[in-house]
C-alpha cells in the first residue's frame, strides 16, 4: 500500500478526513458554536489597541491553559504561545513546528467603546471580525484537537500575536522569526485573519510607510512674506509624486494618508508633515518608490530655499529643512517553498476540493508577510463566517458557515503537519 507521504494531496485529504479522531474533532466543532460566540463576544469586549494588547493576551493565555496546551505563556514581545505536541511515535522524527496564528490587536485607539452587541449568529463591535474571528478560530482548532486527542506528526505552535495593525508594523511576527526560541524550527505557517472560507493570501503585499516633516522659520504673512512655507513646500512635493506616474513592472501605489501643519490662518507655519504609504508586490519597486519620495521632498525644499534667497539675506538662517522617518516596513514575498513535492497552496487546494470550496488566491498585507519574505511556506486564510465594516466602529461578524471554514483549517493544518 502506498505510504501517506507518497500520495499527492488529493489522495491524502480523504485519508485524513476518514480518521475517527478527525470525525470527533468535527463533531466538537459542530456542537460548540455557542461556546465560540461566547469566546468571541468576551474577546471583543477586551480593548486591544496597538501596543496595548496585554489585557487581551492575559485572557487568551487563560484559555490556552484551560484547553491544556503545553508550554503556554506570553513571550517578551507580548505574543501568547501554546503548543500542541506531536505524537510520541513521530516526535523524534522532526525538529520542526507548524505555526497556526491569529493577531489579537485592533486598529482602534485607547478609549474606544468596544462593548459588543450580539444577536443570534451576528456580533457588532470594533474588531468583531478583524481579528476576533481569527482568534476564535484559533481557539476552536485547539479545543477540537485537544478534545479528540489529535496528535499530529509535527508539533503545532498556536500563537495569538501582537502588532499586526497599523504602526504595530508586524512586531509580533518579527519577534517570532527573529528572536524567539522557535525561530529556527518553523517549517510552515498558517495565519487566520478575518472571516471567509474561500480566500487564500499567497502573495505578500509589501509596504513602507514614512513620516515626512518640513520645517521653516515661520512668521507673519505680511512682514515675513517670502519666507519658505512648509505647507506650500510639502504640497509641491506631493504634487510632483502624484502627477507623474512612471511605468512599473508590477503594480505599485503611493498614498498620502495624513497631512498636518500650521497653527493659524494669519501665520506662516513653522512645520508641516505628511504620512506616506508605499505598496508593491516587488521589493525592488518599493526601493525605487522610496528613492522617488526622498528626491521629491529634497527637490521641493531646495527649490523653496533658492526662491527665497533674497528674503533670507534679511533674515539669516530663515531656510527650510526636512526629515523623513520610516514608520513602517512590511516586506513583500511570495509562496514558493515546496513541501515534499507539493506547495502549501497545493495542499489547500486539495482540502478545498474535498470540501467543495472554490479557492481564490489573493495578494494582501498580513502577518504572513514576514515568513513569506524569509522563504518560509506561509498562507493567510479566513476563519469562517462573514463580516463587514472592517476598521470601523460598526464592524460586524456573522458566524453562519463558520463550521465549514474550521473543518478546512483543521484538515489543512493536519496535512501541513504530516509533510514535516
What's the pLDDT tens digit per position in 346-377?
A: 999 999 999 999 999 999 999 999 999 999 99
> Which of 150, 35, 145 shows the shortest CA–CA distance to 402?
35
Mean pLDDT of 206-230: 93
What's the pLDDT tens digit per position in 107-116?
A: 999 999 999 9
What's the pLDDT tens digit per position in 49-81?
A: 999 999 999 999 999 999 999 999 999 999 999
Mean pLDDT of 26-39: 98
Report the C-alpha dihedral over residues 334, 340, 344, 350, rounded to 10 degrees.
140
Q: Delimit the domains of the chain by residue range.
A: 4-205+332-418, 213-330
Mean pLDDT of 324-343: 80
Cell numbers for 5, please give them: 507521504
Mean pLDDT of 129-153: 96
What pLDDT does residue 2 have?
44
The confidence band for 341, taking pLDDT boundaries of 50, 70 and 90, is low
Category of 317 on φ-ψ map: left (φ > 0), alpha (ψ -120 to 50) or beta = left
What pLDDT does residue 351 have?
97
What pLDDT does residue 249 have?
77
CATH numeric code, 4-205+332-418: 3.40.630.10
Average model confidence (pLDDT) for the chain?
Answer: 92
Judged on CB neighbours under 10 Å (0-12, 13-18, 19+), 248 is middle
In the predicted model, is pLDDT for residue 235 greater than 90? yes
What's the pLDDT tens digit per position in 399-410?
A: 999 999 999 999
Whether 4-205+332-418 and 213-330 share one fold: the answer is no
What pLDDT does residue 21 have?
97
CATH class of 213-330: alpha beta
Amino acid at each position: 500500500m502506498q505510504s501517506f507521504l507518497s500520495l499527492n494531496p488529493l489522495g491524502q485529504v480523504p485519508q485524513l478526513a476518514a480518521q475517527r479522531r478527525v470525525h470527533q474533532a468535527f463533531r466538537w466543532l459542530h456542537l460548540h458554536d455557542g461556546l465560540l460566540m461566547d469566546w468571541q463576544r468576551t474577546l471583543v469586549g477586551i480593548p486591544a489597541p496597538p501596543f496595548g494588547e496585554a489585557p487581551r493576551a492575559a485572557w487568551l493565555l487563560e484559555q490556552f491553559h484551560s484547553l491544556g496546551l503545553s508550554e503556554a505563556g506570553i513571550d517578551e514581545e507580548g505574543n501568547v504561545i501554546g503548543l500542541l505536541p506531536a505524537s510520541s511515535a513521530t516526535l523524534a522524527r522532526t525538529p520542526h513546528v507548524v505555526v497556526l496564528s491569529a493577531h489579537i490587536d485592533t486598529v482602534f485607539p485607547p478609549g474606544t467603546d468596544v462593548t459588543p452587541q450580539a444577536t443570534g449568529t451576528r456580533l457588532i463591535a470594533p474588531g468583531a471580525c478583524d481579528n476576533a474571528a481569527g482568534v476564535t478560530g484559533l481557539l476552536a482548532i485547539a479545543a477540537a484537537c485537544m478534545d479528540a486527542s489529535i496528535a499530529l506528526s509535527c508539533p503545532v505552535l498556536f500563537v495569538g500575536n501582537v502588532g499586526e495593525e497599523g504602526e504595530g508594523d508586524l512586531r509580533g511576527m518579527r519577534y517570532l522569526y527573529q528572536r524567539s526560541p522557535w525561530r529556527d524550527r518553523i517549517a510552515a505557517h498558517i495565519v487566520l485573519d478575518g472571516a471567509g472560507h474561500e480566500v487564500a493570501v499567497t502573495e505578500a503585499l509589501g509596504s513602507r510607510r514614512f513620516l515626512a516633516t518640513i520645517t521653516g522659520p515661520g512668521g507673519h504673512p505680511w512682514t515675513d512674506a517670502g519666507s519658505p512655507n512648509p505647507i506650500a513646500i510639502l504640497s509641491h512635493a506631493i504634487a510632483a509624486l502624484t502627477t507623474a506616474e512612471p511605468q512599473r513592472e508590477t503594480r505599485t501605489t503611493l498614498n498620502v494618508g495624513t497631512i498636518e501643519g500650521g497653527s493659524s490662518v494669519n501665520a506662516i507655519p513653522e512645520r508641516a508633515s505628511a504620512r506616506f504609504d508605499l505598496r508593491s508586490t516587488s521589493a525592488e519597486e518599493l526601493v525605487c518608490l522610496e528613492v522617488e519620495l526622498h528626491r521629491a521632498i529634497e527637490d521641493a525644499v531646495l527649490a523653496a530655499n533658492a526662491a527665497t534667497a533674497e528674503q533670507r539675506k534679511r533674515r539669516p538662517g530663515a531656510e527650510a529643512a526636512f526629515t523623513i522617518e520610516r514608520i513602517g516596513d512590511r516586506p513583500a514575498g511570495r509562496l514558493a517553498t515546496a513541501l515534499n513535492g507539493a506547495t502549501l497552496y497545493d495542499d489547500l487546494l486539495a482540502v478545498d476540493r474535498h470540501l467543495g470550496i472554490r479557492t481564490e488566491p489573493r495578494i494582501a498585507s498580513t502577518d504572513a508577510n514576514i515568513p513569506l519574505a524569509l522563504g518560509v511556506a506561509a498562507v493567510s486564510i479566513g476563519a469562517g463566517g462573514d463580516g463587514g465594516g472592517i476598521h470601523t466602529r460598526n464592524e460586524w461578524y456573522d458566524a453562519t458557515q463558520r463550521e465549514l471554514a474550521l473543518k478546512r483549517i483543521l484538515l489543512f493544518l493536519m496535512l501541513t503537519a504530516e509533510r514535516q
